[in-house]
Structure 1
Amino acid sequence: MPPPATANLGYTPPDGGWGWVVVFASFISIGFSYAFPKSLTVYFKEIQEYFGASYSEIAWVSSVMLASMYAAGPISSVLVNRYGSRPVVMVGGMMVSAGMILASFGTSIIHLYLCVGVIGGFGLAFNLQPALTIIGTYFQAKRPLANGLAMTGSPVVLFTLAPLNQLLFDSFGWRGSFLILGGIVLNCCVAGSLMRPVRKMIVSKPKAESSDCNGADETAAAEAVRTEDNSDKLSCVQRFIDISLFKHRGFLIYLVGNVVMFFGFFAPIVFLAPYAKHQGIDEYSAAFLLSILALVDMFIRPLTGFVGNTRWIRPKIQYFFAFAVSYNGVCHLLCPLFSGYAGLVAYAIIFGAAFGMVCALLFETLMDLVGAKRFSSAVGLVTIIECAPVLLGPPISGAMVDTFGDYKYMYYTCGVLMLLPAIFFFVMHYYNYKKLDEEQKQSKSVEMSRAEDTTQQSYLSTRHGIKDLPTVTLSPKVTDY
């Protein structure tokens, strides 16, 4: 789920109208951002043979692209605050297009790292972050529905691109395919042009209220005008350098578990089509496995969001996330046991469900831990730190394939790398929930003591005629959760 916007926007969102056009534009932008690196894996085996590269070397292409997309996330957010979503998305579409066109003339694997990985990855970041942000400016009451529809773009685009890429390769080769993809991805520029800012819906506030930078509504006001008002640069920077989050118990649990998890999160998708071809399966059938995975993912994401919002799951949603991570680990451990194409289809189905569950809960669990006000800062820190496992995970997995000459050890390793953080999440969130209950009870006890002291002071003042008796108040201990 994308990061939700602050509820108190300072204006009345239209909750419809042109907002649905913006949802469609975000659908396209988010779809290309998440699906493009995965769909390119269809070309990996042929590019590997063309350049004489190893599995590890070819895996760096998607790895660098994903890592660049994560690393450029905070930069993209700053640009959105400065210029708005529309120009940032349009520039991002042109960057991805330029990267793919330049890559079509590549003469070495390093050339692909720079063009597809770095240039394309930064362009995808400029597509993703603005699309996640602008929906919150158009929707409030219907925001969950709008976000759910926009996030469905990822599996839909992957479902379409996977077989299309195989068709393009058979007709034009990988160089011609990259050139055509460079034109196709320019649709992101069209999507960006539809992201019109909500300028006319802003409600003017009294001067005293709007100029109060130290009041309780500072965060809400900054969020309300962040795409239109460029004067709040300090607040923008503070959202990404909130170092105090490293003292936050819940944030640290989330961060440590996710860093380990991301080492084994993307590699199974990156190597799914090459793994099928390694077993002698034809190119179209191998590419269709990604479409099957995307089709299941398409339905699982909104279903997971619906289940996560029920009154049975919502209060302990961290356990639901831990279950989703463990489900992924079990899928990868069982993958080598599935034989033949029918077995890989079954794996693609259960893996699509597992992958969709984790993606649907990834941002929601972080917000549940740190709260809405600190969510932007938390996302900025998490994406920067997660660059390392996103970058290194697939190449390390590729090196294992090179070493053992078999994919099963890679899938076993990815399964373990998902199960370990899942166990960590179960244990640490049990501890965290227990501590939260204790701190809540302690806070209530202090509040009751303070109320009793106030009542006693009032009684003594009334009985003895003392008007200015000093009042002793006890402040509850403020603890980061």
Structure 2
Amino acid sequence: MPPPATTNLGYTPPDGGWGWVVVLAAFISIGFSYAFPKSLTVYFKEIQEYFGVSYSEIAWVSSVMLATMYAAGPISSILVNRYGSRPVVIVGGFLVGVGMVSASFGTSIVHLYLCVGVIGGFGLAFNLQPALTIIGTYFQAKRPLANGLAMTGSPVVLFTLAPLNQFLFDSFGWRGSFLILGAIVLNCCVAGSLMRPVNKMVVFKPKTEPLEVNGAEEASGAEALRSEDSPKSQSCVHRFIDFSLFKHRGFLIYLVGNIILFFGFFAPVVFLAPYAKHQGIDEYSAAFLLSIFALSDMFIRPATGFIGNTRWIRPKIQYFFAFAVSYNGVCHLLCPLLPGYAGLVVYAVFFGFAFGMLSALLFETLMDLVGAKRFSTAVGLCTIIECGPVLLGPPMSGALVDIFGDYKYMYYTCGVFMLVPGLFFFIMHYFNYRKLEEEKHKEAVGMRTAEDTVHLNIGQKDKSEDEMEK
């Protein structure tokens, strides 16, 4: 097993035990957070005809839901830092359920924007971030594997919800289906109840630092860290949202690259089936491409977590993430060059691998950069900034299809949006790793110098005492 990442949590994570139950709960919570907005597209055609709206208007339901999920990240951070993951996830599951039940009585498309998009989006935000945060409190040495398993929830839930939604749609229509989905998503409340705070073990620390005790609540490390280093007069916002992260070199590299890549992250999935239909492929075969994509995604996520936890990858996991981002870009650039349905099947397989690798590493690499203590705040700041690209990416890609009448330019553009940040990550993290090594070396030299000075002072003191005695 490779050595754990450098993170001073103040206790020793169990790296197992109840942590695996927490991974299962995070699997459910994360799965609903990412898969739910995509699975609702099954109902869009009937809702579009019912309200007499255009396809672009109905497509905003999922976009608003995803954007709200990302924009509510800082609010979720504050709540997690204050109350822990368990109550936040329970409230999040309840909110999504209430949003779906309310939407079933909708009388206009705006009603769906508010109920499904805003209320449901807030609920998904309260499901996603706490699930990611609590894994970092239970795991350190096995954290990439745990994150990879938890992130597998997204393709598994999507693979399950897609046929279920079709069955519900055929049996009950969109209103009855929304009522049933509102009840199904309450399983997130059950998942949240399993996320009990980690039992922090007693560790010996220098006298200048407080001692952690058993049964301490999970209030996140971002709060604990600032309670030692920051004055008590700080505002509530500064206590729970660490704006000093914008001075963190690794965090800034991650944030800049992610802003670019999210413009091309979701659009290729959204337009995969329409692209196949555009080439004259029947609807069932086009839909089957999404199943192929989901299966590839499902299997690669835990494998990525296992590979990321090896002693060869773990110390420089940022390079692995850069490879995953670049791999996505190459897949999109080659997609229009692959002939016929067989070519699209090959693309769906390799794109599923690429998408799954990136998704499994997306939050693990952020935790590797800022540490588990500051992760909750870091992911909150990232998601609110990334909500812009998440919201605008698919409509911009759709505009390219409208302008040129061909999907290939959209795939080329998404490929560039992924390949450029991948190369950016490779270059910037090369310099970042070198800088970290230099800083570590200087710190070690400084500590040795301090020790030598102490020893010299002690020696001089002993010598002067001997002289006085003589």
- 2:423 counterpart letter in structure 1: I
Structure 1 residue 325: Cα displacement: 0.5
Structure 1 residue 339: Cα displacement: 4.1
Structure 1 residue 418: Cα displacement: 0.8
CA distance in 1, matches of 2:396, 2:215: 40
SS in 2 for 1:269: helix
Matched residue, 2:89: 89
CA distance in 2, matches of 1:271, 1:88: 34
> In 2, are the aligned partners of 1:264 and 1:417 still within 8 Å (CA)?
yes
Q: 1:172 to 1:283 in 2, by over 3 A?
A: farther
> In 2, are the aligned partners of 1:63 and 1:393 still within 8 Å (CA)?
no
> In 2, are the aligned partners of 1:41 and 1:274 still within 8 Å (CA)?
no
CA distance in 2, matches of 1:379, 1:100: 26
Matched, 1:303 2:306: no
Matched, 1:348 2:348: yes
SS in 2 for 1:386: helix
Matched residue, 1:126: 126
> In 2, are the aligned partners of 1:250 and 1:432 still within 8 Å (CA)?
yes
Structure 1 residue 32: Cα displacement: 0.8
Matched residue, 1:409: 409
Matched residue, 1:475: none
Structure 1 residue 67: Cα displacement: 1.6
> In 2, are the aligned partners of 1:19 and 1:138 still within 8 Å (CA)?
yes
Matched residue, 2:37: 37
After TM superposition, the structure 1 stretch with the greater mean CA deviation from structure 2, 295-304 or 311-320, is 311-320
CA displacement, residues 152-204 of structure 1 (integer Å, 9 cap, x when unaligned)? 22221111122333343344444444343233223223333444556xx5779
Matched residue, 2:74: 74
SS in 1 for 2:372: coil
Q: 1:98 to 1:463 in 2, by over 3 A?
A: closer
Matched, 1:160 2:157: no
- 1:168 counterpart letter in structure 2: L
Q: 1:85 to 1:344 in 2, by over 3 A?
A: same
> In 1, are the aligned partners of 2:147 and 2:305 still within 8 Å (CA)?
no
Equivalenced residues, count: 455
Structure 1 residue 251: Cα displacement: 1.4
CA distance in 2, matches of 1:456, 1:193: 57
Q: 1:107 to 1:399 in 2, by over 3 A?
A: farther
CA RMSD of aligned residues (A): 4.0
Matched residue, 2:286: 286
* 1:62-461 equivalences in 2 (<5 Å): 62-135=62-135, 146-195=146-195, 215-217=208-210, 224-226=216-218, 235=227, 237-238=237-238, 240-447=240-447, 450=450
CA distance in 1, matches of 2:444, 2:11: 33
> In 1, are the aligned partners of 2:201 and 2:214 still within 8 Å (CA)?
no
Q: 1:380 to 1:320 in 2, by over 3 A?
A: same
- 1:422 counterpart letter in structure 2: G
Q: 1:467 to 1:25 in 2, by over 3 A?
A: farther
CA displacement, residues 364-392 of structure 1 (integer Å, 9 cap, x when unaligned)? 22222223333333222212211211122
Q: 1:296 to 1:64 in 2, by over 3 A?
A: same
Structure 1 residue 108: Cα displacement: 4.2
Structure 1 residue 33: Cα displacement: 1.1
Q: 1:99 to 1:29 in 2, by over 3 A?
A: same
- 1:317 counterpart letter in structure 2: I
CA distance in 1, matches of 2:348, 2:445: 52
- 2:130 counterpart letter in structure 1: P
Between the aligned residues of both structures, percent identity stands at 76
Structure 1 residue 120: Cα displacement: 1.1
> In 2, are the aligned partners of 1:31 and 1:157 still within 8 Å (CA)?
yes
CA distance in 2, matches of 1:317, 1:202: 27
CA distance in 1, matches of 2:307, 2:381: 28
- 2:326 counterpart letter in structure 1: S
CA displacement, residues 51-83 of structure 1 (integer Å, 9 cap, x when unaligned)? 565554444322221121122233234334555
Consecutive unaligned residues of structure 1, counting only runs of 5 or more, are 469-481
- 1:188 counterpart letter in structure 2: C
CA displacement, residues 281-323 of structure 1 (integer Å, 9 cap, x when unaligned)? 4444433333322221122112212222223222322222111
After TM superposition, the structure 1 stretch with the greater mean CA deviation from structure 2, 294-303 or 363-372, is 363-372
Q: 1:192 to 1:444 in 2, by over 3 A?
A: closer
SS in 2 for 1:368: helix
- 1:325 counterpart letter in structure 2: V
- 2:113 counterpart letter in structure 1: Y
> In 1, are the aligned partners of 2:133 and 2:372 still within 8 Å (CA)?
no
> In 2, are the aligned partners of 1:55 and 1:401 still within 8 Å (CA)?
no
Q: 1:287 to 1:163 in 2, by over 3 A?
A: farther
Q: 1:239 to 1:344 in 2, by over 3 A?
A: farther
Consecutive unaligned residues of structure 2, counting only runs of 5 or more, are 228-235
CA distance in 2, matches of 1:423, 1:82: 38
Matched residue, 1:476: none
Q: 1:265 to 1:145 in 2, by over 3 A?
A: closer
CA distance in 1, matches of 2:405, 2:95: 36
CA displacement, residues 105-128 of structure 1 (integer Å, 9 cap, x when unaligned)? 445443332222111111112222
Matched residue, 2:231: none
